[in-house]
Structure 1
Amino acid sequence: TLSSIVIYCLALSALESLVVFYHHAFVVKFILTPQGKGISDSDLIYHGIFFLSLIYQVAFCVYSLITRNSIQLIALVVFNILSLAYAGVQIYQHIILEEEGTIGAEFIPDDKFKTPKDARDYFVKRMRPIEYIIASLVLTFSIYLSLLSYKLTKEFGWENYKTYTADLKVRKAYVSLTILQTLVKLDIFFIISYAIQLIPSKLIGYSRSIFETVLVFVIGFLLSSLAWYSVDKEMKYILLIVINLCCISLAYIVYRLIGINSPVPDGTIDPYQFTRRLLTFTLSVTFILVCATIYYGIICFRNMARGIYIY
């Protein structure tokens, strides 16, 4: 499993690197407007998030195999499926860059490319097939990983949970705590991903300052660290604080989702025109994960309050 994950991630990294190379080669043919530069920066950030997801998958796999954790194997499959959805949205983002990101930009002609259309056609013909290969590879591997995880889950299940078979309450508490640990790890990735996506917000136009970006980074990091510590050390009162903070964060996520997807009055610039889909995707997944984290956090808190501890 680990070797297949590593080979898969290396192959995707090589293909994604080619797309980044062509992306850069295409963009340097233009002197972009501030908004065009923001779109280009966003696109590069999305590539970076994709690379980060590959590293995350390897780490997930290593930890799952070392601890023989079947729940995290299932989470790895779900994460890979989300990567497939992300790859699809990323293709759409590239189309936006090619069609909208160079509007108003000054083209720099050379002997090879006389017009913007020449450059666009040349690089699109090279990038698009690679992007479809990436999406196909993620889909194929998701199916393979699902089958493999099913087999390993059956193998790990008895070994991992037999320690707690004597006490049904403890066994259920162990499963709940393991699910919560897995959810916290997924929360960390998507919170970081969302914060990174806010970096070019001033250039694109949906924020006049970097205050929100810094705030999301700092609060997201502190909340994630606090959540991990409370779960790892089974600190019930710290866990209760985390649950309440997560409930507050849901209000922020809903507020941002409404703001991003609200209709724009005629004649007004739409600041989310080029980033709406990926921001909505990231926030929607984060919302679902945080809701699940709150649910299992409450279960684990109740178990700890009843004196049921695992470690």
Structure 2
Amino acid sequence: MSLAIFQFFQPMLLASIGVLASVSVMFMVLAYFVYHAFGWEIFKRVGADMKIRRMYVAYRLLVLLLKIDFFAFSGFAVTYIILILKSSDAEFGITIALFPLTLMVLLLAFWGLRRESRVTMWVFIFCLCGSTAYFVFKCARMYDPKQEIKYERQRAMMTYYTIVSLFVVAATLFQSVVCLANFGFGLKERIEMTRGHRSDMEQIQDYYVNAAGDRRMPLEG
């Protein structure tokens, strides 16, 4: 019976593998062009100073990781609530309450990154350390013999979500430290300058106007 079912679904499984492979190749090609376009956008925004460009790339990478953090935690929490917890469990309400709290912390981190607030970033780093401890505790609890019945059928899936969340949190923690070390070296001023937060007299020193009337960063800037 099982062999007949496998033979029935085998063509669809092979087709799905082919579709995924084709889409992956397409994404690789698109990523190549986006990579070059992104490099040009960085040049237009922060100029040709390699130090500023590296700091800006680190800044944008942390912004991306902040978004991924929310989706990673949401995936873990929703799966944990649906598959593991019951409405009568004490963790049920706590896990739901972590949704707005996580969003507030991520928004606070973004604000601190934009404003180069060291105190805010240190608070965020402390929260990331707490998140790491939380996921490590959850992973250890899944393999606790006393909790075997609770996680018996969903252990593999929950372990996967926990490891992914830990990886994302670790990457965010590392990138937060990198961005914190870049504070005070001119990136904030350069970004604000491109957004028009400085006066025209201040911007004259950093821009020239090309034939089309667009402001451009000089190569020596």
CA RMSD of aligned residues (A): 3.4
User: Which AA in structure 2 matches 1:299?
Assistant: V
Query: What CA deviation, in whole Å up to 9, does each residue of 1:41-93 have, x standing for no partner?
Result: xxxxxxxxxxxxxxxxxxxxxxxxxxxxxxxxxxxxxxxxxxxxxxxxxxxxx
1:144 aligns with 2:23: no
The separation in 2 between residues aligned to 1:302 and 1:275, in whole angstroms, is 41
The separation in 2 between residues aligned to 1:209 and 1:244, in whole angstroms, is 22
Identical aligned pairs, as a percentage? 23
Report the TM-score, using the length of structure 1 for normalisation: 0.51
Q: Which of 256, 262, 273 lines up with 2:152 in the alignment?
A: 273
Query: What CA deviation, in whole Å up to 9, does each residue of 1:251-286 have, x standing for no partner?
Result: 1111111112x2637xx8532222222222222111
Q: 1:139 to 1:303 in 2, by over 3 A?
A: same
Ranges in structure 1 where 5+ consecutive residues have no aligned partner: 1-116
For residue 80 of structure 2, what is the aligned residue in structure 1? 198
Secondary structure of 1:199's counterpart equals: helix
1:154 aligns with 2:36: yes
Q: 1:208 to 1:137 in 2, by over 3 A?
A: farther
Larger radius of gyration between Structure 1 and Structure 2: 2
Q: 1:230 to 1:134 in 2, by over 3 A?
A: farther
User: CA contact under 8 A between 2:86 and 2:92: conserved in structure 1?
Assistant: no
Ranges in structure 2 where 5+ consecutive residues have no aligned partner: 193-221
The separation in 2 between residues aligned to 1:233 and 1:126, in whole angstroms, is 58
User: CA contact under 8 A between 2:65 and 2:168: conserved in structure 1?
Assistant: yes
1:179 aligns with 2:61: yes
Q: 1:237 to 1:122 in 2, by over 3 A?
A: farther
The separation in 1 between residues aligned to 2:149 and 2:10, in whole angstroms, is 27
Q: How does 1:73-92 map to 2 (within 5 A)?
A: none
The separation in 2 between residues aligned to 1:285 and 1:246, in whole angstroms, is 15
User: CA contact under 8 A between 1:192 and 1:220: conserved in structure 2?
Assistant: no
User: Which AA in structure 1 matches 2:107?
Assistant: S
Q: 1:248 to 1:129 in 2, by over 3 A?
A: farther
The separation in 2 between residues aligned to 1:282 and 1:179, in whole angstroms, is 22
Q: Which of 161, 170, 180 lines up with 1:301 in the alignment?
A: 180
Query: What CA deviation, in whole Å up to 9, does each residue of 1:79-138 have, x standing for no partner?
Result: xxxxxxxxxxxxxxxxxxxxxxxxxxxxxxxxxxxxxx9xx9999998886666555533
The separation in 1 between residues aligned to 2:138 and 2:76, in whole angstroms, is 11
The separation in 2 between residues aligned to 1:274 and 1:130, in whole angstroms, is 27
For residue 17 of structure 1, what is the aligned residue in structure 2? none
Which fold has the larger relative contact order, with Cα–Cα distance below 8 Å and residues 6 or more apart in sequence?
2
1:284 aligns with 2:163: yes
User: CA contact under 8 A between 2:42 and 2:53: conserved in structure 1?
Assistant: no
The separation in 2 between residues aligned to 1:294 and 1:173, in whole angstroms, is 16
Q: CA deviation at 1:158?
A: 2.8
Report the TM-score, using the length of structure 2 for normalisation: 0.69
Q: How does 1:1-311 map to 2 (within 5 A)?
A: 133-134=15-16, 136-200=18-82, 201-203=84-86, 209-260=91-142, 262=143, 264=145, 270-309=149-188, 310-311=191-192
